[in-house]
Amino acid sequence: MSGLVIEREVLIEAPVDLVWRTITEPDQMSQWFADRVDLVVEPGAHGYMQFGDQGGPVVVETVDPPTRLSFRWNYPRGEEPVTGNSMLVEFALTPMGDEQTRLRVTESGHELRDWPDAEKQRYADEHSGGWPKFLDRLVGVLTKPSR
């Protein structure tokens, strides 16, 4: 109900600490994320990611080892990323026993920024029975875990 979100999930046969290191250590990040990762994983840290000949700045938001990491990217050059001008990427790690970790990633966009709360609530109430139409159905299809 919180705006447009892409959500994906994977079950990993490894303990949560190890998965945390894989997603936060720069030399590991460069193996699954960008070609070059210039980032310190600390709240508020500004970094840079290079993808081929493209790249962009990243700002770390939440660091809560070993279960939560979030950062913002895709914001206009020269601006500070805030809700409304950037994309928020959040990783959530859930230990499933000692040997397994569920890793979920969500990427969400410019959400509801010019909507008064009362109207938001009213809309949510009126559609709590489900408002899955075209784009929302699409979002639903996209967010089904693939494995």
Partner 1 sequence: MTVQVDDQLWSAIADPSRRRVVDLLVDNGEASAWSLAGHVPFSRQAVSKHLVVLEDAGLVRRRKQGREVLFQIEAERLDQASRAMADLAQQWDRRLASIKRLAEAAHAEGKKARALTVGRRPS
Using CB under 8 A, list all residues that contact partner 1: 1, 3-4, 6, 8-10, 12-15, 18-19, 22-23, 28, 31-33, 51-52, 54, 74, 87, 99, 101, 103, 105, 107, 109-112, 115, 119, 122-123, 126, 131, 133-136, 138-139, 142-143, 146
Nearer to partner 1, 40 or 142 (CB): 142
Nearer to partner 1, 44 or 125 (CB): 125
Measured CA to CA, the distance from residue 128 to residue 33 in angstroms comes to: 36
As measured in angstroms, the least distance from the Cβ of 138 to partner 1 is 5
Phi-psi label, residue 97: left if phi above 0, alpha if psi -120 to 50, beta otherwise = left
Nearer to partner 1, 42 or 54 (CB): 54
Residue 134: burial class (beta carbons within 10 Å; 0-12, 13-18, 19+): exposed
Q: Facing residues of 62 across strands?
A: 70
As measured in angstroms, the least distance from the Cβ of 7 to partner 1 is 9
